[in-house]
């Protein structure tokens, strides 16, 4: 069965303290890996799509990378407004996405 896990479950950082979130996946085939940000009470907001191992994408303080078994979301010098739940999802050539449980990030001023 295809599975997506994320670690840590929750992460507290001081403003400016860089870190990484992990998304590990076990799927029969990977067409794409997606990162989303979700704020409380809102739907997930698209951040990145990664298609192949070695690929990297950047947006402001975020950089996503992909290997054959996992993806990392690196957060450089985070600000309090980066606080959210970060979800990853895989497109396994099926008709839908398989989501991980998310990492709740809190950035303290």
Partner 1 sequence: GAGVSQTPSNKVTEKGKYVELRCDPISGHTALYWYRQSLGQGPEFLIYFQGTGAADDSGLPNDRFFAVRPEGSVSTLKIQRTERGDSAVYLCASSLTTGNNEQFFGPGTRLTVL
Task: Give the binding site for partner 1 (CB under 8 A).
Answer: 4, 6, 31-32, 34, 36, 41-46, 49, 51, 87, 89, 91, 94-102
Query: What's the closest the beta carbon of residue 4 comes to partner 1, in angstroms?
Result: 8
Q: How far is the CB of 16 from partner 1 (least distance, A)?
A: 28
User: How many Cβ atoms sit within 10 Å of the Cβ of residue 41?
Assistant: 5
Whole-number Cα distances in Å, 101 to 7, 10, 24, 67: 9, 11, 11, 20
* Closer residue to partner 1 in complex, CB, 56/93: 93
Minimum CB distance to partner 1 smaller for 65 or for 103: 103
d(CA 109, CA 107): 7
- Least distance in angstroms from the C-beta of 77 to partner 1: 26
- Positive or negative, the Cα torsion across 79, 42, 100, 35? negative
């Amino acid at each position: 069965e295809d599975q997506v896990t994320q670690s840590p479950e929750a992460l507290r950082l001081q403003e400016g303290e860089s870190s990484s979130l992990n998304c590990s996946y076990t799927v029969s085939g990977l067409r794409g890996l997606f990162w989303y940000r979700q704020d409380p009470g809102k739907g997930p907001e698209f951040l990145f799509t990664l298609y192949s191992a070695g690929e990297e994408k950047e947006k402001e303080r975020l950089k996503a990378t992909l290997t054959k078994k996992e993806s990392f979301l690196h957060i450089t010098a985070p600000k309090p407004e980066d606080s959210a739940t970060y979800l990853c999802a895989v497109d396994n050539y099926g008709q839908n996405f398989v989501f991980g449980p998310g990492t709740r990030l809190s950035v303290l001023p």
